[in-house]
Structure formats: C-alpha cells, structure tokens
Amino acid sequence: MASTGLLLLLLSQDAPAAQMQRAAVTIQAAAHALTNTPANPRPLAPETQREQLGVLSRALDDYVIAWCASQPAAEPDALADALRSVYDPWAAWREFTNAPAVTAATIRGRRYLVVSSLLFHGGGATPGTTWSIRAFDVTSSPARAVATASSDFTGDALVVRELRAPVEAQHWLLAYGIRVGDTGSRSDAAVYAFDGTRFATKWVRRDVPGLEIAVDGTMVHVKYATKQPAAGGGFAFEEFREDYRITPRGLDLISATRK
C-alpha cells in the first residue's frame, strides 16, 4: 500500500496543475529578477538579462502546455486570463497593450493557439520590452510550441489583432505598439502569417508617429501625424491616412491622403 501511495503522490505532482504551479513560480521569479524596482534596485548585466528572458520565455511555454493539458477545450480567452493571472506586469500600461493575447486557428485539421506576450525587463518610466508571439499545436498531446514570429522590435508596447487571412490554411495577425516612453509617440507595426509550420512577416512599418490603426474586413486603415516647423514659428502637425487591402502578398497600399 505504501508503494501505491508513493506512486499516486508522484503522479499527482506531475499532473497539469502541479506543472502549472511550478511554471508560475519560475515565471514570477524571472519577472522579479528582470524588474528594476526599489526592492530590486540593481539592473541586470546584458548577458544575465538575456538568460533571464530565456528562463521567462521557457516557463511561459511550460505554463501554456500544462494549461492545455488541464483544459481540453483550450479556449483562447480562458488561456489569456490564466496567463494574465501569473504574468501581467503591464497593469499600469493597459491602455497601450492587450497582451497576453491568444488567438485560435485550425489549419489542415490541426488546432493551434497563438500566444502573444509582452516580456518586461527593466523598470522606471521607460521599461524595456520584447515581443513574444508563439504558436502551439494543441491537437498534439501534450501541446507543443511549433513556431515563433520573428521580431526585432524592442521597447514597444503590443496590441495584437487577428486579420482575415487572404490565403486558405493560414492565420494572420496584425501586431503593433507605441514606443514606451517615446516623446514622439512613435510606433512599430507588423503583419505575420502562420501556416501551421512557421511565421512569415508580410508587412512592416517602423517609427510611425501618432499611429492609429483600424481594421475593416479585408482593409487596414492607418492614420498618423508628423510634426513640422511652422512658417510663423513653432510647429504644425500634418495628418496622413493610408488605406491598405489585405492580399496574399501582405498589405497593398490602395490610397494615401494628407490633410
């Protein structure tokens, strides 16, 4: 009986709930190490910061995989809520980000969840950030990470929106974010297409001042404003609008106007 009880104990410790708990502890420890606060005042050396970001990223993966094992339906909103309960350093910046965000896709009979997280490092008024956009095959048991969107954007907030894919058996995302602490309110934006194996970058805009984006069916509308010296002194703002159609190539510019 004793050996049976020990076996049950070991099995229970390896159950999804226990795996989630271990991952959550690791997430919170890495998040603390990466955050420069009065209680943790010394910023990490660059190499140590990279190591801790790797620890954080792997622990987030472990949490997603364990959560999927505990939730066979794998509803995206439920996973986003669960992730937010263990890693949400952006409460004060909620107006600038919807991360963690989770979208779902079925591609060639397999179901995927795409998890978009905003990794925080540093502190103060201008924290450092890194985008993490990862696809998980949840038809597999256990779920497994299969692809990562390539991004060199750092220092940006992150908003993720699903686009209507112009290609069958693909899942398209629009990701954009304002540069945190940037006085010029510049933003970066990208469109990614996931085909069940990898992400392809379909469109990129960098350093766009005052960016506003709206999605309407197969169209993406971009507005921004630039500051120019005025004739009588001071500055004047010029407003621009660009309308794009979502096509297999990415976003094709249809019209551009200036006020």
Domain range summary for the chain, segments of one domain joined by + = 2-258
Average of per-residue pLDDT across 226-245 = 82
Percentage of residues in the chain having pLDDT higher than 90: 64
pLDDT tier, 94 (very low <50, low <70, confident <90, very high otherwise): confident
Judged against a pLDDT cut of 70, whether residue 126 lies above it is answered with no
Judged against a pLDDT cut of 80, whether residue 44 lies above it is answered with no
Ranges 148-152, 177-181, 214-218, most confident? 214-218
pLDDT at 32: 87
pLDDT tier, 124 (very low <50, low <70, confident <90, very high otherwise): low
Terminal-residue alpha carbon distance, the chain: 80
Judged against a pLDDT cut of 60, whether residue 5 lies above it is answered with no
User: pTM for the complete prediction?
Assistant: 0.88
pLDDT at 6: 52
pLDDT at 152: 79
pLDDT at 70: 94
Compute CA distances 97 → 13, 68, 93, 205, 244, whole Å: 35, 24, 7, 18, 23
Judged against a pLDDT cut of 80, whether residue 226 lies above it is answered with yes
pLDDT tier, 11 (very low <50, low <70, confident <90, very high otherwise): very low
Nearby residues of 66 by Cβ (< 8 Å), 6 or more positions away: 16, 17, 19, 20, 23, 142
Judged against a pLDDT cut of 50, whether residue 180 lies above it is answered with yes
With the C-alpha atoms ordered 36, 209, 201, 218, is the resulting torsion angle positive or negative?
A: positive
Judged against a pLDDT cut of 50, whether residue 7 lies above it is answered with no
Judged against a pLDDT cut of 90, whether residue 116 lies above it is answered with yes
Burial class (CB within 10 angstroms; exposed 0-12, middle 13-18, buried 19+) of 256: exposed
Q: What is the mean pLDDT of the chain?
A: 88
pLDDT tier, 125 (very low <50, low <70, confident <90, very high otherwise): low
pLDDT tier, 155 (very low <50, low <70, confident <90, very high otherwise): confident
Average of per-residue pLDDT across 215-226 = 95
Judged against a pLDDT cut of 80, whether residue 42 lies above it is answered with no
